[in-house]
Structure 1
Amino acid sequence: MAGTQRWPRVIIFTTPSCPWCRAAKEYLRQRGVPFKEVDVSRDAAAARDLVRRTGQMGVPVLDIGGKIVIGFNRPQIDALLGLKKK
Structure 2
Amino acid sequence: MNDVKVIIYTTPTCPWCRKAKAYLNEKGVNFKEIDVSKDQKAAEELVRKTHQMGVPVIQIGNEYVIGFDKKRIDKLLGIN
Matched, 1:18 2:14: yes
Which structure ranks higher in relative contact order (CA pairs < 8 Å, sequence separation ≥ 6)? 2
With the length of structure 1 as denominator, give the TM-score of the two structures.
0.90
Residue type of the alignment partner of 1:16: P
Matched, 1:29 2:25: yes
Q: Which aligned runs of 4 or more in structure 1 are off by greater than 2 angstroms?
A: none
Sequence identity, in percent?
Answer: 59
Structure 1: which 5+ runs fail to align? none
Corresponding residue pairs, total: 80
Change in Cα spacing, 1:6 to 1:21, as seen in structure 2 (3 Å) is closer
The root-mean-square deviation of aligned C-alpha atoms, in Å, is: 0.7
3-state SS in 2 of match to 1:16 = coil
Matched, 1:51 2:43: no
Structure 2: which 5+ runs fail to align? none
With the length of structure 2 as denominator, give the TM-score of the two structures.
0.97
Answer whether contact 1:7 1:33 (CA < 8 A) is retained: no
